[in-house]
Amino acid sequence: RPIVLLNIAIGIAVMTLCLLMQTWLLIFVFRYYVRHTDLLNNPSVWASVLVISVVMFLLVIGNLAQIAIWGLLFLWLEEFQDFSGAFYHSAVNFATLGYGDHVMSPANRLLGPLEAVNGVLMIGVSTATLMSAVQDAMKRIIKQRRIRK
C-alpha cells in the first residue's frame, strides 16, 4: 500500500504540473488569438485558417510537452533505458491507446492510468479551446461576409 500511495502522490504532482502548463498555454494561445483578430475580421477563410492552424499547433506542442514530462518521470523511475521508449510509452498512455507492448513494473504500474486520466483531461481542454476558436472565427467570417453584401 505505501507504493500505491506514493504512485498516487507522484501522479497527482505530475498532473498538477501538467495542469499548470496547460493553463499557461491557454493564456498564451488566447493572447495570440486576440492579437490576431484583425485577420479573423476578414471575409476570407484563409486568414482564419492561418490563425486556427497556429492555435492548433500550439495546443499540440503543449500536449507533446506534457507527454515528455511523463516520459521523463518514467525515465527517472528507471522504467525505461532511453527517452524514446519512455516518450513512446507516455504517448500511448496520454492518448489512452493502451497498446500494452510496454508494461511498467508493478511498483509503478499505477502511473499509466493516472497519465491516461491526465491525457483525457488535457486533450479535452485542448479540443474545447480549438473548437471555441473555430466557432468564433466562423462567426466572424459570416459577419464580415454579410457586411460586405
The per-residue pLDDT for range 9-30, each reduced to its tens digit, is: 999 999 999 999 999 999 999 9
Report pTM: 0.90
* CB environment 52-66: b (16+ within 10 A), e (fewer): beebbebbeebbeeb
Among 136, 143, 112, smallest CA distance to 29 is for: 136
Q: Which residue has the cell 485577420?
A: 39
pLDDT single digits (tens) 44-81: 789 899 999 999 999 999 999 999 999 999 999 999 99
**Residue 34 to residue 86: CA distance in whole angstroms:** 37
| Residue with the three cell numbers 476578414 | 42
Q: Grid coordinates 483525457 are at which residue?
A: 120
Q: Please count the other Cβ atoms lying within 10 Å of the Cβ belonging to residue 47.
A: 19
